[in-house]
Amino acid sequence: MDIGQEMTVPGLTTDVQDRRETYQGALEKEIRNKWKRTVTGWLLIAPSLVFLVIFTIYPIIKSFIGSLYIDNLSTITPVFAGFSNYKAVFQEKAFWECFFNNLLIAVVTVPVSIVLAVAMALFANSLKRGKGIARLGFTYPTFIPLVAAANIWMFIYTPIYGLLGYLNPQWRFLADSKTAIWALMVMLVWKQAGYIMLFYVAGLHGISRELFEAAKIDGAGAARTFFSITWPMLKPTTIYVLIIALTNAYKMVDHLYIMTKGGPGNATNLSVFSDRIRKLTITIDREERKDVPACCLREKKEKNKYWKNTN
């Protein structure tokens, strides 16, 4: 037999071919199962995705496109204005005051609420008795409606007659521009810390007890156990909670309207609520009417007169 000639063993080629066919069949089956799971997953999230597109993504895109046009009572059809509307808002002092008020609330309330929520969750879990009562007490402010919570804190901050007024009748936290926004932040932290605690309680239950037992055997203290095991394992919960807290910090409307209405001055005005920005948009509309051609205004008046006569 030549050296270059391949040596064949009877039955070996058939065995390799059978294995190859088995592997190919298993691979094709896995691919089909993967596609099946993918399609099933998309079908399950399709209803939520449809609502997300209709009620969230589409309004955002539509609002942005609409902000590039002048569309008010002085124009018959929207007129493209580019970024002139944004330029007018950015040049307004009230906008930047609202922006920094929102930023201050987010920077202060988010970390404070998270720290308090973690502390309350750890305390409630450490109790041998009365865990349910402790958790209910911490989460009770969450179940109070926003309007009722705002009125409760209005009573607390009321001079002379309020709870803090009994301690010092001269305290006027909501009437002082330096303390009004801080008073609102105290109320916001009180309202949402218990709600955030629920997520951390669930996160603590998801951590394996074996990790804490191993840390105890190694002689790790409470602080070392928290920063080396508990806090890293709560990272997914913290990311989710961070998004919720940031959202709450930027959508204060009900309690703000009841407690301060954006005052005193512009000390507690926020972007979502700002009355000054609303007045600014009205002023912009009035100024833009000067640039509308007279023929357009005449045509609009004729249309209004026609509809008035027909009715």
Q: Tell me: the pLDDT tens digits for 157-191?
A: 988 888 888 888 888 899 898 999 999 999 999 99
CA distances from residue 283 to 72, 87, 89, 287, 289 in whole angstroms, order as listed: 12, 14, 11, 6, 10
* pLDDT tens, residue by residue, 104-156: 999 999 999 999 999 999 999 989 888 889 999 999 999 999 889 999 999 99
The tokens describing 306, both together, are 């026609």
How many angstroms separate the CA atoms of 178 and 173, rounded? 8
Q: How do the pLDDT tens digits run along the chain, 311 residues long?
A: 444 444 444 555 677 677 777 778 788 888 888 888 898 989 999 999 999 999 999 999 998 998 898 877 666 788 888 898 888 888 888 888 888 999 999 999 999 999 999 999 999 998 988 888 999 999 999 999 988 999 999 999 988 888 888 888 888 899 898 999 999 999 999 999 999 999 999 999 999 889 888 988 888 888 999 999 999 999 999 999 999 999 888 888 888 888 888 878 788 888 776 655 555 554 544 444 444 444 444 444 444 443 444 44
- The DSSP symbol for 271 reads T
Residue whose structure tokens are 């005052």? 263
Residue 130 backbone zone (phi > 0: left; psi -120 to 50: alpha; other: beta): left
CB-count exposure of residue 69 (10 Å: 0-12, 13-18, 19+)? middle
Q: Which two tokens stand for residue 278?
A: 């609303």
Q: How close are the terminal C-alpha atoms of the chain, in Å?
A: 110
- Helix intervals (H) in the chain: 12-52, 58-67, 84-90, 93-126, 131-143, 146-157, 163-167, 180-205, 209-217, 222-225, 231-233, 235-249, 254-259, 275-289, 294-310
Q: CA 248, CA 256: separation in Å to the nearest integer?
A: 13
Distance CA 150, CA 255 (A): 5
CA 159 – CA 155 distance, rounded (Å): 9
Tokens of 124: 């409630």
Q: pTM score, two decimals?
A: 0.72
